[in-house]
């Protein structure tokens, strides 16, 4: 993959757009809509411009590299399940007892020689052009501004290389990087990331921390940067295992960090642990803006690049997006590692509209009472799985986890309040629902048992049930029931919220004969006829300790929280595309989506 653009032309139906397009909103909006299509393609924008700065860039922008499962599999060179099988075999290695067994192991160990990165003293192609510190100008890179309310331009596909204070541990992570000015970037590494641990070491020692950011090159570098490797393991080991060849690393020019020499652009610098700057807001992969918070700042020492570099970028926001396919590969490949902690785990699946850490489905072989609850605690205590908010477990006879309708029916036929565990634990820094940052409610559902006996006692039509709701509360606007053929139908209502939902929820308790599961969402920016986005909203918007009731029926308050709820943190807004930009792109024939498409994915909201 020395020439990624050429490879994408041949293998991924790369779409080339030669129209001059703005790095502010236009380019990211086109990529945002494209990747939501069932036949999405990688995009190359050959003439990026910044109209606000009067710049025409000579560096093209490449987006949606992981455009589909098929393209992602081609990038890996094999199906992720095949890679997982190889990892599983390594984890199960046993000492050979006979000469025949020893001989049989030689090819396996021979193949591992390619795992370890190779360092070279030569310069890489990414160091052909060197821009010294006094000439550094980040404005010369086509750094995108994706959302109208973003705090500024952000590098969204940067490979951030760092190392421990003693140089013994190296890491690459994929963190967003806000451009502040011509030579400063915000380093959004969250507290559980390896780079943040290294940062603490440098801060305690009173030393500046070297950081090198790489952009471009083999797309597998990017995937490795977000892979949930155990602490202390360099992600480039995983690159070598997948590729079957050693990652070739070159030394940064201004620090001792090694990076792949065949990337497109390298940004080197130092972080002063005594200096922090407000970073954000930023429309993130949750589909919400993450709020303004202080983060470390990198001062750029030099920039190097190829003679003809390409700037790789991605878009995050409401699902489905490119991270869906990156996450699919991660999910498959890391199954064997998860099984070392939960050996009776058969499979797991993170639905894209559950935004990964907000919802996980797991299939397991249950061997004893409480086994599913044991798995819940195991999941919540393992690496990045510890940030999962909602986990649903089914037995080994359940349908395939990715068969959405079948697995939903299976779960709802086994759902019972007595098998729901609500607890507290660490949550992702991007989560906005908990009363305090980083700690919040978690919910586990044990659906491994037999079907429950009783369904809704007195079923009603949507119209009949809405009339009953509105006779209780005139602020209830719309209603729709889903999965009415199951033992636990889901009733969704939208409200014009004038008070905390839970403050007087008892008023709907008399409707218990007609309801098993009630989900409450705001009327604004929700559509009761859109189950895909309703799941996204609900998984995003609840803190289980505050927003879930189990009696007399299951109630989920998925409304936005505010002062009416005694919620003191700022509640962020949805990522919505700029309507003027969308209409302009439509008029110019640069996007070919209709109003139904825009509504389906909440591109402009649902007002």
CB 517 within 8 A of CB 491: yes
Peptide bond into 281 cis (omega under 30): yes
Mean of the pLDDT values across residues 585-589? 96
Q: Output the pLDDT for position 194.
A: 81
Mean of the pLDDT values across residues 279-284? 96
Mean of the pLDDT values across residues 396-414? 97
Which CATH superfamily hosts domain 4-313?
Answer: Electron Transport, Fmn-binding Protein; Chain A (2.30.110.10)
Q: Output the pLDDT for position 228.
A: 87
Q: How far apart are CA 324 and CA 66, in angstroms?
A: 9
The 10s digit of each residue's pLDDT in 122-169 is: 999 999 999 999 999 999 999 999 999 999 999 999 999 999 999 999
Which CATH superfamily hosts domain 322-447?
Answer: UbiD C-terminal domain-like (3.40.1670.10)
Residues of the chain with CATH 3.40.1670.10: 322-447
Sequence-distant (≥ 6) Cβ neighbours of residue 141 within 8 angstroms: 57, 59, 265, 303, 311
Residues of the chain with CATH 2.30.110.10: 4-313
Predicted confidence band at 232 (pLDDT cuts at 50, 70, 90)?
confident
Q: Is the pLDDT of residue 248 over 70?
A: yes
Chain centre to alpha carbon of residue 147: 17
The label of the residue with tokens 């991605």 reads: 314
Q: Output the pLDDT for position 103.
A: 59
Q: Is the pLDDT of residue 96 over 70?
A: no
% residues pLDDT > 90 (the chain): 87
Q: What is the DSSP letter of 308?
A: S
The 10s digit of each residue's pLDDT in 365-379 is: 999 999 999 999 988
Mean of the pLDDT values across residues 384-398? 95
% residues pLDDT > 70 (the chain): 96
- Across 75-79, 93-97, 429-433, 546-550, least confident range: 93-97
Return the sign of the alpha-carbon dihedral for residues 193, 198, 202, 204. positive
Q: How far apart are CA 576 and CA 587, in angstroms?
A: 19
Q: Output the pLDDT for position 214.
A: 98
Q: Output the pLDDT for position 93.
A: 63
Mean of the pLDDT values across residues 313-340? 94
Helix H, strand E, coil C: the string for 412-452 is: HCCCCHHHEEEEEEECCCCCCCCCECCEEEEEEEEECCCCC
Q: Output the pLDDT for position 89.
A: 80
Q: Is the pLDDT of residue 411 over 70?
A: yes
Predicted confidence band at 190 (pLDDT cuts at 50, 70, 90)?
confident
Q: Output the pLDDT for position 109.
A: 59
Q: Output the pLDDT for position 100.
A: 65
The label of the residue with tokens 């004969």 reads: 513
Mean of the pLDDT values across residues 273-302? 95
Six-digit token string for 124: 């890489």
Q: Is the pLDDT of residue 99 over 70?
A: no
Q: Is the pLDDT of residue 191 over 90?
A: no
The 10s digit of each residue's pLDDT in 57-93 is: 999 999 999 999 999 999 999 999 999 998 888 776 6
Task: Give the three-class secondary structure for 115.
Answer: coil
Predicted confidence band at 107 (pLDDT cuts at 50, 70, 90)?
low
Strand order in the sheet with 476-482: 476-482, 490-495, 517-522, 554-557, 548-549
Q: How far apart are CA 118 and CA 110, in angstroms?
A: 16
Q: Output the pLDDT for position 348.
A: 96
Q: Tell me the helix, strand and coil percentages in the chain, rounded to 5.
A: 30, 25, 45
Predicted confidence band at 43 (pLDDT cuts at 50, 70, 90)?
very high
Q: Bridge partners of 172?
A: 161
Mean pLDDT computed over every residue of the chain: 94
Of residues 479 and 121, which shows the higher confidence score?
479
The angle subtended at Cα 440 by Cα 560 and Cα 374, nearest 5°, is 125
Task: Give the three-class secondary structure for 600.
Answer: helix
Q: Is the pLDDT of residue 106 over 60?
A: no
Of 293, 280, 357, the C-alpha closest to 319 is 357
Count CB atoms within 10 A of the CB of residue 112: 12
Q: Is the pLDDT of residue 325 over 80?
A: yes
Predicted confidence band at 549 (pLDDT cuts at 50, 70, 90)?
very high
Query: What are the backbone dihedrals phi and psi of residue 184, each rounded to the nearest 5 degrees, phi first?
Result: -135, 135
Six-digit token string for 55: 């710049």
Q: Output the pLDDT for position 101.
A: 62
Of 296, 4, 325, 76, the C-alpha closest to 175 is 296
Mean of the pLDDT values across residues 438-459? 96
């Amino acid at each position: 993959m020395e020439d990624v653009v050429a490879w994408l032309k041949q293998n991924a139906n790369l779409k080339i757009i030669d129209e001059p397009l703005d790095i502010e909103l236009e380019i990211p909006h086109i990529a945002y809509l494209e990747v939501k299509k069932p036949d999405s393609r990688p995009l190359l924008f050959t003439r990026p411009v910044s109209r606000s700065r009067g710049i025409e860039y000579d560096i093209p922008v490449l987006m949606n590299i992981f455009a589909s499962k098929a393209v992602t599999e081609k990038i890996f060179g094999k199906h992720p399940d095949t890679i997982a099988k190889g990892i599983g075999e390594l984890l199960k290695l046993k000492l050979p007892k006979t000469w025949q067994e020893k001989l049989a192991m030689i090819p396996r160990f021979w193949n591992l020689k390619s795992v370890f990165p190779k360092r070279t003293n030569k310069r890489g192609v990414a160091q052909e052009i060197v821009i010294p510190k006094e000439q550094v100008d980040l404005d010369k890179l086509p750094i995108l501004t994706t959302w109208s309310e973003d705090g500024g331009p952000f590098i969204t596909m940067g490979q951030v290389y760092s190392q421990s204070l003693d140089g013994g541990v190296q890491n690459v992570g994929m963190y967003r990087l806000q451009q502040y000015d011509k030579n400063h970037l915000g380093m959004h590494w969250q507290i559980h990331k390896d780079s943040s641990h290294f940062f603490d070491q440098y801060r305690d020692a009173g030393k500046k921390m070297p950081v090198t950011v790489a952009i471009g090159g083999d797309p597998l570098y990017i995937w490795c940067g977000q892979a949930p490797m155990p602490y202390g393991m360099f992600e480039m080991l995983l690159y070598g295992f997948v590729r079957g060849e050693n990652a070739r690393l070159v030394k940064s020019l201004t620090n001792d960090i090694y990076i792949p020499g065949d990337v497109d652009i390298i940004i080197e610098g130092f972080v002063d642990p005594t200096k922090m700057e407000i970073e954000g807001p930023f429309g993130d992969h949750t589909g919400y803006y993450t709020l303004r918070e202080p983060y470390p700042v990198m001062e750029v020492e030099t920039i190097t690049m190829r003679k003809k570099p390409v700037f790789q970028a991605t878009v995050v926001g409401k699902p489905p997006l490119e991270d869906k396919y990156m996450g699919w590969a991660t999910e498959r490949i890391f199954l064997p590692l998860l099984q070392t902690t939960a050996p009776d785990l058969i499979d797991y699946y993170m639905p894209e509209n559950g935004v990964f850490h907000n919802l996980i489905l797991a299939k397991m072989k249950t061997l004893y009472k409480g086994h599913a609850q044991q798995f819940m605690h195991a999941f919540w205590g393992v690496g990045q799985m510890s940030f999962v908010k909602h986990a649903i477990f089914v037995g080994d006879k359940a349908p395939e986890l990715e068969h959405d309708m079948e697995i939903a029916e299976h779960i709802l036929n086994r759902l019972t309040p007595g098998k729901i565990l609500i607890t507290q634990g660490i949550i992702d820094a991007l989560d906005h629902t908990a009363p305090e940052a980083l700690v919040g409610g978690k919910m586990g559902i044990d659906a491994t048992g037999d079907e429950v006996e009783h369904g809704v006692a007195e079923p009603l039509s949507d119209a009949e049930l809405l009339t009953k709701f509105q006779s209780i509360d005139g602020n209830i606007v719309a209603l729709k029931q889903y999965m009415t053929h199951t033992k636990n139908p889901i009733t969704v209502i939208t409200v014009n919220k004038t008070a905390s939902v839970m403050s007087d929820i008892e008023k709907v308790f008399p409707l218990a004969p007609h309801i098993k599961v009630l989900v409450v969402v705001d009327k604004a920016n929700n559509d009761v006829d859109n189950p895909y986005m309703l799941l996204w909203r609900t998984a995003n918007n609840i803190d289980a300790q505050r927003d879930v009731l189990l009696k007399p029926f299951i109630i989920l308050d998925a409304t936005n929280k505010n002062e009416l709820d005694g919620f003191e943190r700022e509640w962020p807004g949805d990522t919505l595309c700029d309507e003027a930009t969308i209409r302009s792109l439509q008029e110019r024939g640069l996007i070919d989506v209709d109003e139904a498409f825009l509504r389906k994915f909440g591109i402009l909201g649902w007002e």
